[in-house]
């Protein structure tokens, strides 16, 4: 009798969870999909880069079949998230940040795992343990969460993980990691959003059953989920101040000859200091102290503001940096249909205005009748660094930092160490972006407007380092920075 009562109670609770979410009728979802298809066909700069028209049509036909019956908002959110990934575009996705409060309230969990990890060779390797449980150590491997094996979790999350090009698997895997930069009270990351949607019946259940392998010993540990604010506080208490926003830029002297300059972010929009003045003071100090070697570290920095990136590059060169990798800026439109304008938001309304002085290309794009090189020349700052330069890169670098690594390598500014970046040399879609809101469901999707296409054919891959040095689980356990070690021992000696 007790078992029957427990089963009935469980069913009731599941139904309460189900009906607390918006239910979307087929007509509403089909209308959203038709408007989305029109928006992509009219303005998406990279729509047909890795898909032909027939493939795009088939994706929408498939979703038309899947929306023949009412679906929870959660289910439709997952479908359009997975649809975006088929474009193989690192700037086209259901943005974690731009969805409105009504969507966040229903679909974003309020409970977060108090463990940070990095995906290394298909494994979840713990980098930070924010709990008081001393049985969990840095370098341990998470082999299951709530009974789901890591491989199954990765396979599911890859279906909503964005990357540029057809060879973006390493970037997609990297997106699943939880880094320090992801856990601020105002930050979001893929795992926090999508793991609960895939694997938790109740988005806000607060227990995580973690199966951990530590030195060939496997144990199951229950850790309590925490709020964003609690997780940030736990990190600060245990590891010190979180290096986010302007604090992600800092210097770390190694000795009298060598200094590390860490640049953890280029999203400078709301920073509390003038990064140009800061850079000038930093490089004045470097030159005054007579440093001979500068290690510039942009690992885990996806990108942000182009002017911040270019300002940094101006201190790393003794000669003008031109367009060694010149690009064409290609649009899919010169004017936007009036029917789409109500659903498009952006930070610059000039993106919505008709374009003049553009000609149609043979492959169906629009390009300025007087195209420039697609980038601005960067002149050396008078206080540029006079010594030897080393740049550390990784697969996270996929937007502004991808371009920085490309410029650094093509202009031979110094030696590059680390992992091949994200992004694709075949060109990134970006520069201008619409925040597109589906009219019935309210779900937001970022749509990049410009294909920054290389003038000459390029491979579908990121920027390769001069010296490939990868971090292993053993390195994490021993808290070794093997990229810096390599530079100090092998290149500087």
- Picking from 219-223, 241-245, 247-251, 456-460, which range would have the lowest pLDDT averaged per residue? 241-245
Indicate whether 1 pLDDT > 90: no
Residue 195 vs residues 111, 156, 490: alpha-carbon distances, Å = 11, 9, 41
| Number of residues in the chain | 493
Q: How far apart are the first and last CA of the chain?
A: 75
Distance from C-alpha of 340 to C-alpha of 111, rounded to nearest angstrom: 36
Check: CB of residue 207 under 8 Å from CB of residue 222.
Answer: yes
Q: What is the DSSP string of 52-96?
A: -HHHHHHHHHHHHHHTSS-EEHHHHHHHHHHHHHTT--TT-S--T
CA angle 297, 398, 466 (to 5 degrees): 55
Specify the 3-state DSSP secondary structure of 486. helix
Helices of type H across 397-463: 400-410
Check: CB of residue 330 under 8 Å from CB of residue 449.
Answer: no
Specify the 3-state DSSP secondary structure of 26. helix
pTM of the model as a whole: 0.91
Inter-helix orientation angle 73-85/190-199, to 10° = 130
> Is 103 part of any domain?
no
Distance from C-alpha of 165 to C-alpha of 94, rounded to nearest angstrom: 18
Indicate whether 243 pLDDT > 80: yes
Tell me the pLDDT tens digit for each residue of 458-491.
Answer: 999 999 999 999 999 999 999 999 999 999 999 9
Count of domains for the chain: 2
The pLDDT, as a whole number, for residue 13 is 38
Tell me the pLDDT tens digit for each residue of 92-105.
Answer: 999 999 999 989 99
Place 372 in a pLDDT band, splitting at 50, 70 and 90: low
Query: Shortest CA distance to 298 belongs to which of 394, 206, 233, 215?
Result: 394
Place 17 in a pLDDT band, splitting at 50, 70 and 90: very low
- Whether residues 217 and 250 fall in one domain: no
> Is 76 part of any domain?
no
Indicate whether 6 pLDDT > 50: no
Tell me the pLDDT tens digit for each residue of 412-452.
Answer: 999 999 999 999 999 999 889 999 999 999 999 999 999 99
The pLDDT, as a whole number, for residue 312 is 98
The pLDDT, as a whole number, for residue 383 is 96
Distance from C-alpha of 471 to C-alpha of 480, rounded to nearest angstrom: 9
347 contact partners, CB below 8 Å, separation of at least 6: none
CATH number at residue 296: 3.90.226.10
Check: CB of residue 47 under 8 Å from CB of residue 364.
Answer: no
Tell me the pLDDT tens digit for each residue of 291-302.
Answer: 999 999 999 999
The pLDDT, as a whole number, for residue 119 is 98
- Report the percent of the chain where pLDDT is more than 90: 85
CA dihedral in degrees (218, 224, 225, 228; nearest 10)?
Answer: -110
> Is 77 part of any domain?
no
Check: CB of residue 358 under 8 Å from CB of residue 331.
Answer: yes
- Picking from 15-24, 67-76, 228-237, 460-469, which range would have the lowest pLDDT averaged per residue? 15-24
Residue 90 vs residues 46, 160, 178, 352, 447: alpha-carbon distances, Å = 10, 11, 18, 22, 10
Distance from C-alpha of 186 to C-alpha of 32, rounded to nearest angstrom: 29
Query: Shortest CA distance to 49 belongs to which of 484, 456, 450?
Result: 450
Q: Which of 183, 218, 237 is the last residue of a domain?
A: 237
- Whether residues 182 and 250 fall in one domain: no
Long-range (24+ apart) CB contacts under 8 A made by 194-199 are: 194/81, 194/156, 194/157, 194/160, 195/113, 195/145, 195/153, 195/157, 196/109, 196/111, 197/74, 197/77, 197/78, 197/107, 198/78, 198/153, 198/156, 198/157, 199/145, 199/146, 199/148, 199/153, 199/156
- Whether residues 223 and 307 fall in one domain: no
- Whether residues 288 and 421 fall in one domain: yes
> Is 93 part of any domain?
no
| Cα atoms found within 13 Å of the Cα of residue 35, Cβ hemisphere only | 23
Backbone angles phi, psi at 167, to 5 degrees: -115, 40
Place 325 in a pLDDT band, splitting at 50, 70 and 90: low
CATH number at residue 219: 2.30.42.10
Indicate whether 10 pLDDT > 60: no
- Whether residues 189 and 298 fall in one domain: no
Tell me the pLDDT tens digit for each residue of 131-190.
Answer: 999 999 999 999 999 999 999 999 999 999 999 999 999 999 999 999 999 998 888 999
Tell me the pLDDT tens digit for each residue of 58-95.
Answer: 999 999 999 999 999 999 999 999 999 999 999 999 99
Q: Which of 178, 207, 237 is the last residue of a domain?
A: 237
CA dihedral in degrees (108, 113, 117, 123; nearest 10)?
Answer: -90
- Whether residues 166 and 270 fall in one domain: no
The pLDDT, as a whole number, for residue 376 is 75
> Is 123 part of any domain?
yes
- Whether residues 228 and 269 fall in one domain: no
- Report the percent of the chain where pLDDT is more than 70: 94
- Whether residues 272 and 365 fall in one domain: yes
Indicate whether 377 pLDDT > 90: no
Determine the structural domain holding residue 419 and report its residue range.
245-492
> Is 79 part of any domain?
no
Q: Kindly state the DSSP code that residue 347 receives in the 8-state scheme.
A: S
Q: Which of 237, 268, 294 is the last residue of a domain?
A: 237
Tell me the pLDDT tens digit for each residue of 337-367.
Answer: 999 999 999 999 999 999 999 999 988 899 9
Distance from C-alpha of 372 to C-alpha of 394, rounded to nearest angstrom: 30
- Whether residues 334 and 217 fall in one domain: no
- Whether residues 306 and 288 fall in one domain: yes
The pLDDT, as a whole number, for residue 238 is 94
- Whether residues 225 and 275 fall in one domain: no
- Whether residues 212 and 269 fall in one domain: no
> Is 95 part of any domain?
no
> Is 360 part of any domain?
yes
Distance from C-alpha of 208 to C-alpha of 231, rounded to nearest angstrom: 14
């Amino acid at each position: 009798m007790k078992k029957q009562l427990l089963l009935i109670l469980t069913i009731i609770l599941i139904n309460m969870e189900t009906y607390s979410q918006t239910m979307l009728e087929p007509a509403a979802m089909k209308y959203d999909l038709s408007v989305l298809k029109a928006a992509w066909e009219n303005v998406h700069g990279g729509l047909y880069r890795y898909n032909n028209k027939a493939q795009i049509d088939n994706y929408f036909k498939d979703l038309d079949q899947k929306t023949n019956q009412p679906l929870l908002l959660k289910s439709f959110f997952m479908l359009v998230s997975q649809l975006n990934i088929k474009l193989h575009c690192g700037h086209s996705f259901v943005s974690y940040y731009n969805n409105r409060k009504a969507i966040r309230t229903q679909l974003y969990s309020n409970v977060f795992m108090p463990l940070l990890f990095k995906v290394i060779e298909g494994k979840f390797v713990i980098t930070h343990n924010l709990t008081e449980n001393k049985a969990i150590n840095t370098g341990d491997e998470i082999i299951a969460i709530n009974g789901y094996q890591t491989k199954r979790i990765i396979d599911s999350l890859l279906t909503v993980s964005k990357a540029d090009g057809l060879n973006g698997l390493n970037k997609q895997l990297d997106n699943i990691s939880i880094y320090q930069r992801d856990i601020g009270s105002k930050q979001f990351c893929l795992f926090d959003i999508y793991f609960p949607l895939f694997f938790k019946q109740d988005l806000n259940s607060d227990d995580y059953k973690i199966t951990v392998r530590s030195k060939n010993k496997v144990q199951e540990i229950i850790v309590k989920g925490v709020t964003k604010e609690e997780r940030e506080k736990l990190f600060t208490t245990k590891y010190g101040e979180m290096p986010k926003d302007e604090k992600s830029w800092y210097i770390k002297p190694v000795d009298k000859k060598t200094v590390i300059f860490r640049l953890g972010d280029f999203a400078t929009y709301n920073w509390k200091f003038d990064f140009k003045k800061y850079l000038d003071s930093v490089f004045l100090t470097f030159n005054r102290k007579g440093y001979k070697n500068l290690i510039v570290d942009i690992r885990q920095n996806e990108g942000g503001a182009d002017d911040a990136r270019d300002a940094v590059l101006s201190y790393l060169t003794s000669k003008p940096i031109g367009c060694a990798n010149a690009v064409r800026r290609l649009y899919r439109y010169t004017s936007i249909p009036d029917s789409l304008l109500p659903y498009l938001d952006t930070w610059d309304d000039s993106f919505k205005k008709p374009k003049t002085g553009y000609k149609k290309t043979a492959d169906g794009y629009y390009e300025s009748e007087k195209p420039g090189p697609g980038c601005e020349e960067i002149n050396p700052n008078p206080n540029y660094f006079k010594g030897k330069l080393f740049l550390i890169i990784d697969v996270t670098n996929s937007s502004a930092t991808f371009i920085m690594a490309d410029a650094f390598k093509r202009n031979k500014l110094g030696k590059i160490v680390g992992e091949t970046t994200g992004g694709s040399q075949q060109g990134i879609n970006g520069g201008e972006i619409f925040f597109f809101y589906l009219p019935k469901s309210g779900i937001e999707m970022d749509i990049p407007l410009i294909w920054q296409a290389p003038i000459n054919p390029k491979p579908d891959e990121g920027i390769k380092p001069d010296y490939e040095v990868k971090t292993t689980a053993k390195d994490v356990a021993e808290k070794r920075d093997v990229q810096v070690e390599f530079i100090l021992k092998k290149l500087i000696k």
